[in-house]
Amino acid sequence: MPQKVAVLGTGKIGEALLSGMIRAGWSTADLLITARRPERAEALHARYGVEVVSNIEAAKNADTLILAVKPQDMTTLLEELAPHLPADRLVISAAAGVPTALFEERLPAGTPVVRVMPNTPVLVDEGMSVISGGSHATEEHLLRTEEIFKPVGKTLRVPETQQDAATALSGSGPAYFYFLVEAMTDAGILLGLPRDKAHDLIVQAAIGAAVMLRDSGEHPVKLREAVTSPAGTTISAIRELERHGVRAALIAALEAARDRSRELASGHA
Ligand SMILES: NC(=O)C1=CN([C@@H]2O[C@H](COP(=O)(O)OP(=O)(O)OC[C@H]3O[C@@H](n4cnc5c(N)ncnc54)[C@H](O)[C@@H]3O)[C@@H](O)[C@H]2O)C=CC1
Ligand SMILES: O=C(O)[C@@H]1CCC=N1
């Protein structure tokens, strides 16, 4: 009997995961989704051909539930699910901040819970999903979780104490790169380039740099040194980045994201 997986809360990350599972070859007959708004449910059903059910039906009929609602909506969802959830269901949470202990407190005793922090590049099978098991999650539950997340990118197991940091670096990470691309495109415009050309140049520089970071095995400092010619253009730019405290700004930004993840722990913030 194949495992049925339900995605509860099909917003940005829930839909990204759903589409990834379908690309990876999951049969739509083995997938269920839930959505709060009927228009959204209809649109998703039309797009993916997956059955839309209530949260309670998902709890009863799926072997694995992926909870992808906002941390602030999680406690309400758990209250709805708890009376209907058989304790052998695997519950995977994609919510930032919310610890596995909160799920264990609110769901039937012994429910296996796995906390995952994915990121939106799962849409192009280049995601990173950071995985931690709760106190009832066995190796089999972690493997089942990896079976879902590996086809849409990489996975990494970490102790749950590292999840808030992983959320700051990896869950939110793509946003920082988009922000930098946007800022550098503006710079290109200031320097007189048309927006579309500036965009293309920066995106290709980002892709080239990312592939070199991944494939060359070189430390980022070495890669940067290779671009930085004596008395050249790059060092003039780097001096300005240092003068404006960009390194310190990034450290402070990620610290703020980590702190916000901790604040979301209660699911109420
Ligand atoms: N967007 C991202 O890049 C990432 C988001 N996450 C986590 O994923 C979760 C969702 O985030 P987004 O997709 O960005 O938010 P979103 O707002 O796009 O999606 C949340 C969805 O849950 C639905 N929802 C809320 N309560 C519900 C309920 N009781 N039953 C069924 N559906 C319900 C909402 O209608 C909405 O469609 C959050 O916990 C976030 O921390 C994790 C990693 C990355
Ligand atoms: O911004 C957020 O809270 C979510 C979690 C990580 C990425 N997006």
| Whole-number pLDDT of residue 266 | 80
| Whole-number pLDDT of residue 1 | 47
- Tell whether 181 and 217 lie within a shared domain: yes
Pocket mutation for ligand 1, best pick of 69, 130, 179 (most atoms within 8 Å of C-beta): 69
Q: What is the CATH number of the domain that holds 24?
A: 3.40.50.720
Compute the distance from residue 125 Cα to the ligand 1 centre, in Å: 19
Determine the structural domain holding residue 140 and report its residue range.
5-158
Ligand located closest to 120 CA? 1
Rounded-to-integer distance, Cα 193 and Cα 98, Å: 45
- Tell whether 30 and 71 lie within a shared domain: yes
The answer as to whether 152 is a domain residue is: yes
- Tell whether 21 and 64 lie within a shared domain: yes
> For 58, left (φ over 0), alpha (ψ -120 to 50), or beta?
alpha
| Whole-number pLDDT of residue 2 | 59
Task: Report, as an integer, the average pLDDT of 88-106.
Answer: 97
Tokens of 183: 């800022």
Pocket mutation for ligand 2, best pick of 128, 172, 263 (most atoms within 8 Å of C-beta): 172
The answer as to whether 167 is a domain residue is: no
**pLDDT of 190 above 60:** yes
| Whole-number pLDDT of residue 269 | 63
**Residue at which a domain ends, from 101, 132, 158:** 158
75-92 confidence digits (pLDDT tens): 999 999 999 999 999 999
- The residue whose C-alpha atom lies closest to atom 8 belonging to ligand 2 is 172
- Tell whether 22 and 143 lie within a shared domain: yes
Nearest residue to 55 via CA among 74, 73, 71, 35: 35
| Whole-number pLDDT of residue 268 | 64
Mean of per-residue pLDDT scores for the chain: 97
The ligand 2 atom at the shortest distance from the C-alpha of residue 264 is 3
| Whole-number pLDDT of residue 3 | 86
124-167 confidence digits (pLDDT tens): 999 999 999 999 999 999 999 999 999 999 999 999 999 999 99
Question: What residues flank ligand 2, with Cβ below 6 Å?
Answer: 96, 167, 171-172
Q: Report the percent of the chain where pLDDT is more than 70.
A: 98
Rounded-to-integer distance, Cα 121 and Cα 139, Å: 26
Q: What is the 3-state secondary structure (H, E, C) of the chain?
A: CCCCEEEECCCHHHHHHHHHHHHCCCCHHHEEEECCCHHHHHHHHHHHCCEECCHHHHHHHCCEEEECCCHHHHHHHHHHHHHHCCCCCEEEECCCCCCHHHHHHHCCCCCCEEEEECCHHHHHCCEEEEEEECCCCCHHHHHHHHHHHHHHEEEEECCHHHHHHHHHHHHCHHHHHHHHHHHHHHHHHHCCCCHHHHHHHHHHHHHHHHHHHHHCCCCHHHHHHHHCCCCCHHHHHHHHHHHCCHHHHHHHHHHHHHHHHHHHHHCCC
Pocket mutation for ligand 2, best pick of 73, 122, 163, 167 (most atoms within 8 Å of C-beta): 167
- Tell whether 99 and 208 lie within a shared domain: no
Residue 50 binned pLDDT confidence (cut-offs 50, 70, 90): very high
192-228 confidence digits (pLDDT tens): 999 999 999 999 999 999 999 999 999 999 999 999 9
Our count of domains for the chain comes to: 2
The ligand 1 atom at the shortest distance from the C-alpha of residue 68 is 9
170-189 confidence digits (pLDDT tens): 999 999 999 999 999 999 99
